[in-house]
Structure 1
């Protein structure tokens, strides 16, 4: 009954240590969460960017419908989420450059 006790030199423990180090480096970016205080409560910046993206997409949609260019928004299932993403990222880059 001579059992070998796994040591830190086994390939599985080296892999686990490597993954733990990568996770620690990745999690260090979470130290400072970008937040905005609104009436005493803190909300993440990305939440405001998504709201702005949705509002700007609705505005673009209404303007294009008004000038009778609504066909530019076809297929809406692809164009609308793309516009929301575009506007959200643009607002993030313009307003929240830390």
Structure 2
């Protein structure tokens, strides 16, 4: 029984902030949403918003890819 649970004790994917532990994916998703909002605002300001045309598909994918990139960059 102890052999099966031994792999879980090595690393907990959480960040300690003022005594509370938050999962690292929460910060990555927040950063992905913020970065995609900044990309949206900059493209609309430059009037190039049509470059990312099907918004319902592109922006969730952009959030996903940016979140994964932040996770690889900061937590891997």
* TM bin (shorter chain): 0.7 to 0.9
> Does residue 46 of the first structure (1) align with residue 25 of the second (2)?
yes
Alignment partner of 1:80 out of 51, 55, 59: 59
- Please report the TM-score for the alignment, with normalisation by the length of structure 2: 0.84
The 1:34/1:83 distance shift into structure 2, 3 A limit, reads same
Across the two proteins, how many residue pairs are aligned to each other?
72
Q: Where does structure 1 lack aligned partners over 5 or more consecutive residues?
A: 1-23
Structure with greater helix percent: 2
Equivalent in the alignment of 2:45: 66
Q: TM-score, normalized by length of structure 1?
A: 0.67
CA-CA distance at 1:73 after TM superposition? 2.1
- Greater RCO (Cα-Cα under 8 Å, separation 6 or more): 2
